[in-house]
Chain A
């Protein structure tokens, strides 16, 4: 495995519930994913696709049902809490809800200082100084060290979350919908901040979002999830310009774009029905009930995630009949 690979998830499975006590929720059902040093991998999908669950499995907040996760060359899937502690210095997470991810009863300086305290890195005045440096780094006023989260706006709270996550200069930060709860103009500020920090600290990101435009903007590579599995993964530009999986194509055509001409012009691929629940996924290819190109093979055989075009090894698709041209999907 190349020294460049930072995180490698191999066939990660996470089921909730037990087969005895009723239906099993197959939240993540066999996901393999790689993140290299310094790159940003985007993960998109709708509700129920399992992206948040996957994030928590990768950071070991949830126990995996099966599969492995290797971080910096080391298998972290079965490590105990104590063994995981040093790993957590390098593998961090940013959460979606700026209002829920900060303890309302603690001062901001104390919250950002947590990583230093937990890992015994710095104490007292030294810790204070480093926390204030961090605050400055993320665009907060260091004099607000003693304030409470309720005294900050949503965008500022998210910056606090970012400061906390990058305190110990991790190698990989998993961002779970970091800007979804923010207003448009604030979103842009936080996206730029994440971008700047990536350059300054050499961070890699796994950027999870349902917002396709944001993911396209920040990512080097993008993976699309549907019902607990990755259905397509490719370099960002390529995925958006030439999606090969029908779901990806539909998703892209459904996403609102702030450009009237483009909105009028593009192919409208409307798929019917609702996002199904991960409790009873369809047989074969999970997308087949909603797919305009579905054929008999799709109901029986689940397609593997492979490079379907020999000329393009980086573009993997899990589809028996990948899309060549978008007009194939318009009725």
Chain B
């Protein structure tokens, strides 16, 4: 039984240029103690989906269901949702400088969160805050608890954000690009911290990022998003070594490898506009293995060979996974059979 079960989540924004369909029918589940990585480029809808789950997308039309501990988050009233936010599902944002209030000491911000959700006394809440700061690796927490956000460096601020997120022992922590704004060495520290905390506290972690390297390091399960839908969903090693969806393959071929220095193979073209999506598969215009079926019918998430739960929204044969020669042959054969000419 999943901790969080999202089914056909869709988020759309009306704008003066047309309806922006940021998320179109996204389904996934998160189990307790698991780390789910959601990876996608800008415009893929990954952040929008996370915000919508917690009712944080103002002005948007949200449909679908997100069942958490028996109730559907998407049909909850605001007061009930507020009780969930922070206490059971916590969020860590990308830029701690803008997510922390600049005029209040961080200790106060943490204790406020605690006292807003529980009937904890001021002193007890402060003690808990000191504990949390120590847990996330802030040296001399008792002295630093009354400092202001600007007195901390970027990495420390992110640690404070994580402390705030953990304050009420949430079941799920959603981290939206938690390390993008940080330096490489600090990034490693934060990821390490998240991993350690997750194994110590047993909560589920959803990491949203555009960085495949972060995913390779931290996720158990991965969702690859493209144009508002899940393109591929797989266990970590399956995704990297036995990828099925051409977008995933394309992404992996675009990233400079740690070992070779061969020429990069970028994906031609650009992501589609969320207002004017082409019919059929949204990746078809850029796909090397485009078949005639692809422009007509958008493929649902279909099971593919390999691990349990490995699924890909693609019409290519289910056993064509990875970049091995047989897999390539299978792909080109499928394209040939469909009568389409490969690019």
Contact = CB atoms under 8 A, between A and B. Distances in A.
Interface string B268-302: 10100000000000000000000000000000000
A253 B184 CA distance: 10
Interface stretch (A84-92, A163-171, A255-263, A314-322): A255-263
A153 to B, nearest CB: 6
Which label, helix, strand, loop or mixed, suits the secondary structure of the A interface?
helix
Nearest to A255: B184
Given A188-B265, A256-B211, A213 B184 contact: no
A34 B157 CA distance: 38
Contact of B264 (A192, A251, A271): A192
Contacts of A184: 41, 210, 212, 251, 254-255
Given A46-B183, A210-B183, A185 B216 contact: no
Interface in A34-81: 46-47
Interface string B192-230: 100000000000000000111111110000000000000
A189 interface: yes
Contacts of A261: 237
B27 interface: no
B240 to A, nearest CB: 5
Nearest to A155: B270
A263 B184 contact: no
Interface in B159-212: 183-189, 191-192, 210-212
Interface string B142-154: 0000000000011
Size bracket of the A interface: 35 or more
Contacts of B257: 213, 217, 258-259
A253 B213 CA distance: 12
B245 interface: no
A259 B258 contact: yes
A26 to B, nearest CB: 18
Contact of A183 (B210, B214, B263, B268): B210
A242 interface: no
Nearest to B263: A192
B74 interface: no
A191 interface: yes
A307 interface: no
Contact of B216 (A237, A253, A256, A274): A256
A53 to B, nearest CB: 16
A213 B261 CA distance: 10
Given A183-B42, A185-B250, A260-B240, A254 B185 contact: yes
B261 A274 contact: no
A188 B255 CA distance: 7
A275 B155 CA distance: 9
A270 interface: yes
A212 interface: yes
A274 B256 contact: no
A259 B270 CA distance: 25
A282 B270 CA distance: 46
Given A195-B263, A256-B212, A258-B215, 20 more contacts: A184-B210, A184-B212, A189-B266, A189-B268, A192-B264, A210-B183, A213-B257, A213-B258, A217-B264, A254-B187, A256-B187, A256-B191, A256-B211, A257-B213, A258-B216, A258-B252, A260-B240, A262-B259, A271-B185, A274-B186
10 contacts: A184-B251, A213-B258, A217-B256, A255-B213, A256-B213, A256-B217, A257-B258, A259-B216, A259-B257, A260-B216
Interface of A: 46-47, 153, 155, 183-189, 191-192, 195, 210, 212-214, 216-217, 236-237, 250-251, 253-263, 268, 270-272, 274-275
